Amino acid sequence: MSARIRLALVLVALVAAAPSVFAYLSLGTTVNGRSVQTRWTSMPIRYFITNRGVAGVSAAQMQAAAVASFSTWSQVPTASLSASFAGFTNAEPVRDDGATVIGFQPHEELERTLGVTAFTLDRTTGTLVEADIYLNSAFDWSVAASGEANKFDVQSTLTHEIGHLLGLGHSLLGETVLRPEGGRRVTSKRSVMFPIAYLVGTTLDRTLQDDDIAGVSDTYPTGKFLNSTGSVAGRVTLDGAGVFGAHVIAVNTKTGQTVGAFTLNSQGQFTMDGLEPGIYVLRVEPIDDADVGSFFNDDAKVDVNFRAAFYSKLVAVPVGGAGASAEIKVVRK
Ligand SMILES: [Zn+2]
């Protein structure tokens, strides 16, 4: 009993700016009407590396880059997770074979896709049982310590894909512009998990940003993290019915900390964890419909046809607990 989910990392270009904001998406599924966060429940996560390299990157160098990317995530002090290299394999990534496999695969037809992560979930518990990653060998790759002109950095791209492997979706924290030659260019980006990569030659995405750290801490919280933060939960409704795929934003009225989440089921329910204790303003808005496919696997279900709205009350988030459930009502555009 398993279900596969695919996420693609599209590529393109440059530079950062911006404040302390969290807008990560935790992946989830619905099991028996209940939202379950997509995560691993047994550690360490055992992974294999394919025994094939590409021009300029051997299988051993790919393995070293994977070890470095995993440790970037496992070293976050407020998150508790571990991974271990299980060996080289002839198996292909993205096969439903029970083994977590990372390697290169040629996909000339995917002109803008650097890498893909595909999951196998246990349908009865919602737990991750396998996650495979391939990097598209149609591109030129590098493992040079400080990057290489005209090549994509293996470790940076693996850090993004391993974020997916751990159960993180995409972050909204970035801005892009359309390029005349097609595709999009990143103009600012405050998260490794933003769905569009930097251009060739940089190694910036080897380093996690605040939003990535918040996302992985929310997914694999240490006891200290749980004891020092709180949560808020509720529903987004339209004429009494749940709204799927609405973007909910909580803003701390004192610190300005901003956290984003999505409603992930037909009841319109959402949960935001890892919030600093305090008083919050809640706002709901439709996803920019141009971007729906980057955030949801089944974008047909996402409702973007409603007006943005504020919740009529302030919400108190206590330490280590949840505030009162909020129902945010929206109306059609
Ligand atoms: Zn991605």
Distance 5 CA to ligand 1 centre (A): 12
The answer to whether the beta carbons of residues 215 and 140 sit under 8 Å apart is: no
In a domain, 14, yes or no: yes
Per-residue pLDDT tens, the chain, 333 aa: give them: 445 544 444 332 222 222 334 556 667 777 777 777 789 999 999 999 999 999 999 999 999 999 999 999 999 999 999 999 999 999 999 777 889 999 999 999 887 889 988 888 887 888 888 999 999 999 999 999 999 999 999 999 999 999 999 998 888 777 777 778 777 777 777 789 888 887 778 899 999 987 898 889 989 999 988 888 888 889 999 999 999 888 888 888 888 777 777 887 889 988 888 788 899 999 998 876 556 666 666 666 788 899 999 999 999 998 877 877 899 999 999
- What is residue 166's three-state secondary structure? coil
223 falls within a domain? no
* Phi and psi torsions of 318, nearest 5°: -85, 160
Instruction: Check residue 296 and give its pLDDT.
Output: 65
Ligand 1 geometric centre to CA of 303 (Å):
22
Domain encompassing residue 77: 2-218
- DSSP letter assigned to residue 161: H
DSSP state of 287: P
Q: Indicate whether 155 and 245 sit together in one domain.
A: no
Structure tokens at 61: 């160098």
Torsions phi, psi for 101 (to 5 deg): -125, 135
Determine, yes or no, domain membership for 49: yes
How far, in Å, from the CA of 227 to the mean position of ligand 1? 30
194 shares a domain with 73? yes
CATH code (residue 283): 2.60.40.10
pLDDT of residue 10: 38
CA of 250 to the centre of ligand 1 (A): 24
- Asked if residue 100 and residue 7 are part of one domain, the reply reads yes
Please indicate, yes or no, whether residues 190 and 238 belong to a single structural domain of this protein: no
Buried-exposed string 158-192: b where 16+ CB fall within 10 A, e elsewhere:
bbbbbbbbbbbbbbbbbbbeeeeeeebbbeebbbb
Residues 85 and 199 in one domain: yes
Q: Where a domain ends, among 185, 218, 251?
A: 218
Asked, for residue 276, whether it belongs to a domain, the answer is: yes
Helices (H), the chain: 59-74, 154-165, 210-219, 223-228, 292-295
Same domain, 122 and 176: yes
Q: How far is the CA of 311 from the centre of ligand 1 (A)?
A: 31
Residues 38 and 187 in one domain: yes
33 Cα to the center of ligand 1, angstroms: 27
Q: Ligand 1 centroid to 87 CA: how many Å?
A: 25
The CA 113 to ligand 1 mean position distance, Å, reads 9
Q: Are residues 34 and 163 in the same domain?
A: yes
Do 95 and 181 share a structural domain? Answer: yes
Ligand 1 centroid, distance to 174 Cα (angstroms): 13
Q: Return the bridge partners of 282, or none.
A: 250
Distance 291 CA to ligand 1 centre (A): 13
Q: Are 73 and 162 in contact (CB under 8 A)?
A: yes
In the listed set 218, 238, 265, which residue is the last one of a domain according to the structure? 218
Q: How far apart, in whole angstroms, are the C-alpha atoms of residue 295 and residue 208?
A: 20
Q: Round to whole Å and give the CA distance between 144 and 100.
A: 26
Instruction: Find the 80 Cα to ligand 1 centroid distance in Å.
Output: 22
| Residue 23 to residue 170: CA distance in whole angstroms | 9
Q: Domain boundary at 194, 218, 242, which?
A: 218
Domain assignment present for residue 109? The answer is yes
Report the pLDDT value the prediction gives residue 298, as an integer from 0 to 100.
Answer: 60
Is residue 196 domain-shared with residue 272, that is, in the same domain? no
Q: How far is the CA of 7 from the centre of ligand 1 (A)?
A: 6
Q: Is the pTM of this model over 0.85?
A: no
Residues 58 and 29 in one domain: yes
* Residue 285: inside a domain: yes
In a domain, 245, yes or no: yes
Report the pLDDT value the prediction gives residue 295, as an integer from 0 to 100.
64
Where residue 39 sits, what CATH number does that domain have? Answer: 3.40.390.10
C-alpha 169 – ligand 1 centre gap (Å):
7
Number of domains in the chain: 2
Inside any domain, residue 224: no
In a shared domain, residues 94 and 49: yes
Q: Tell me, in angstroms, the distance from the centre of ligand 1 to residue 161's CA.
A: 6
Ligand 1 center to 212 CA (angstroms):
12
